[in-house]
Structure 1
Amino acid sequence: MQNFTITNIIVFIFLFITGNACAQIETPSLGFSQACASPIFNTYGVSFSFTGSELGGSNQFIVELSDETGDFSNPTVLHTTAVGAITTSPAIINVSMPTTIAGEAFRIRIKGTDPVATSVPSMAFPAYYKIQDEPFSINNLVSTGVYCSGGSYLLTIDNPGTGDNDSPLQYPSLTFNWFRATGPTTEVFVASGPTLEVSDPGIYFVAINYGPCTSVNTNTSNKVTISEASSGGSSTISSSLGNPYCASQGLTTLSTVSANSYQWFKDGNEITGATDQTYITDESGTYAVNITLNGCSTSASIDLDANQFTSSIDVSEAPAENLMPPEGTLIVTLTDTANTPEYEWYLNDVLIAGANSASYEATEIGNYKAVISQTVGCISSKEFLFTIGETFPNVENIPNLISPNGDGTNDTWVIPQAYVSGTNAEVIIISSQGEIVLQTNDYLNNWPQEELNFKDVNPVYYYIITTQDNKTRKGSITVVK
C-alpha cells in the first residue's frame, strides 16, 4: 500500500512538471517585411502557433513590440486578446503600429497568460508611422537659386508654404535628409536637418526620413537647381504655368532666384513697381529681371508665350490705315498655327455673318477686327484690329502740312478727288533744292512712300498740279514730325 502511494505521487508530480514545461509559443511570423503605417493604413497581421498543455480558461495572448533596437526591456503592448478568445493553433492577430514609431530594427513577441509562456522574438523589421504623407515644398517652389562666388545659398523647407502645402515642419517628431541629384533617378546623401546651406552647384531636394518607407512621390520636396553667380552673369526665370502656357488658365507667376533686390522688364521696358522676386502676368513677351545678391549682381530672361500658337495678318494693323483699292475690294488673310482654329470677322464691332474662314474679302470701309480661336488643347484666342479707308477720300482742300510719323493720321499727302488717279491730272512735287521727287499722272494719295529723314528743320516741298484741261494749282507742303 505504501509503495503504491509513493509511486502514484511521483508520477503525478512528473506529469505536472513536464506538462507545464512543454507549453510553448513558437516564433511569430509576420505578414510584412516592413511596417509603413499612415493615417490611411495601419493594420498588420501577426501569426503564431502554440503547443503543449491545453490553454487555461483565463488565457490571454499579448502582442508586444520592442524598441527600435529590438530590446524588450520596456515593450509596447500592441494588442491584448479577450479572455479565452483564441483556443486553437495557429492563430492570427491584427495589430496597429504606434503613431510615434520610427526605426530600423523592431521585433514582435507573443506572450500567453494561462499557462504563462513567451515566444522567441520575431525577425527584425523597419517601421515608420508616416504622419505626413503628402508632397511638400522648399524654396517657395522657386526652382533655382544663386549664390555669389565664395558665398552660399540657404535651402529651407517651406512653413507653411503656399496654397494647401502640408509642411512637414508642423510635425516636430519628423527628421529630414537632404540629397543632391546625380542623375534622373539617382542621388547622394548630403546632410540631415530642416535646412541646408549650399556652397556647391547642383540640384538639391529633401526627403522626410521614413527610412525604406520613404516614397519619392509623396515624401520628397521639389528640386532646386543651385548655381554660382559672378557679377554680370545670367540666371533663370520660371513660369508657374509653364512656357508656353495656356492663358485661359489664368495668370502665371514668373519667379527668379532669392536675392536682395529686383527690377523687372517687359520687352526691354522697365515695369514700374515690379521689384519683387515674382511677377504675375497673362501677357506674352520677353521678360527680364535684374538681380542684386550679396556682393554680386546677375540677370535673367524668359520669352513667355501665353497663347501657344502663332498668327499674323497681311494688312497693316491699327492705328495705321489700309486704303481700299480702286477696284473696291480688299482681301485680308490670316495665317496661324492654331489647333483646329475658328475665325470671326467684325466690322465696326458687329459680327459679319458667314465670315468664318481665314480670309475675308472686304468691300466696305471701316474699323475691322479678326479673331482666331484655338478650340483644341489650350483654349485661347488672338485678335487683330485694322482699318480700311477710302483710297481717294473726298477732301475739299489741298493740304499744305503732313506728318508722316506712322500714327495713321495725316501720314500722306491726300488731295481732292479731282487730281488723283483716273483724272489724268499731272502731279509734280519738288524739293526746296529744286529736285523733282514725284511726277505722275496717276497719283494715289501715297506720298511720301519712303521715310523722309530730317532732324531739326521741317523741310518744305512745292507742288504743281496740272489738270487735263490745263488748269494749274501751285503751293507748298511742310513736313513735320
Structure 2
Amino acid sequence: MFDLRVNIAVIAVLLMYALTGSATKKGAPVYAAPQTVTIVQGQTATLRAASVNGVAFQWLKNGVFIPGATQTTYVVSTAGSYQVLSTNAANCTSDLSDPVIVNVQQANFTDVAIGINAVKVSDNMDDPFRYTIMLKNNGPVTATDVNVQNKIPAEVSYKSMDKPAKGTADYDAFNNNITWRLAQLDVGETTSLTYTVKALKVGRIENTATVSSQPADMDLANNTASTTLMMAGLYIPNVFTPNGDGVNDTFEIPNLNTYIANELSIVNRWNATVYEKKNYQNDWTGSGLNEGTYFYLLKVQTANGKWDIYKGYITLIRTIKSN
C-alpha cells in the first residue's frame, strides 16, 4: 500500500471553476467530508487524481469500475459518487480516495448564437448582392420562441428573400425590417436565412441582426452580429448639358480614375455606335449629336483584374430653359 492515500482534486468545472481535494496523511486513512460539485446539464467537470507516486489509475462511479477510465484525470457529465484508485511503480495500490459527489442540475437557459455575412459578385451598383443570417444553438437545451430581427441598412433596397431553411420569415416594407421566427432550435442545430438587396449608393454599408429565445440566453454576447462591406462601385449620372457654360459640359463619371482600365461605348436608339473610347477620361461632349437619350456600356477593370460592366442611359441636353 501507499503511505499516502490518493485523493481527488476537482480541477475544472465548466472549464473555469476549481476546488481542492482532501488532504492526505500518513498512517490510518482520514476520511474527509465528501466534496460536492454541481454542474448544469450538458456541461462537465474534470477530476484529477492527486497522487504523487501513482503511475496507473482506475476511476469508479458509485463503487463500480468505469471501463477505460484509467488516466490521471476523468471528465464527468453525469451525477454520481466518483472515486479513484492509484497504483505505483511497485504495483502497490492505494485505498479508495474520498468521494466527490457530482450533482447535475436541469438546465434553465440556452445559448443561441447569430452570425451574418454579405456576398457580392461585383462592385457594380446594378448587381444585387445577398445577405445570409446564420443561427446555431450551442446548448445545453432546446431553444424555443426564437426571434431574429434584422433592420435592413438604409444604403440598400430590399429585393427578395429565399424561403428559410427552418421557420417563417417576412419583410416589413414600412419599417424596412426582416423578422424570422422559429418555434424551436435543437441543441447543436444550425440553420440560415438568405435575402437579396441592391445598393443605393457607394460607400460603407453595415448590417446588424439580433436573436432572442426561450429560456433565457446564458451568453448575450453572441446574440448580436454585424457585417460591413464597402460598395466601391460607380455612380453614373443620367444627364449632362454640353452647352459651353462650364457646368456639366462633359459626361463625367466620378471616381472612374480609381480603376485600372476602362472601356466606354455610346449608342443611339437605333443601336448605332456614336462614341467609343478605351481609357475614357471624362471628356466626351456629345459633339455633333442631337439632344436626346443615348445608351452606354461601360467596362471597368478592378484591382484583382476582374471586369465589371455597367449599362444605362444618358440624356444629352444642350438648351437649359430659364425661368
Q: Quick one: higher RCO (CA 8 Å, sep 6+), 1 or 2?
A: 2
Shared fold, TM over 0.5? no
- What TM-score comes out, normalization by structure 2 length? 0.33
* Structure richer in strand, relative to its length: 2
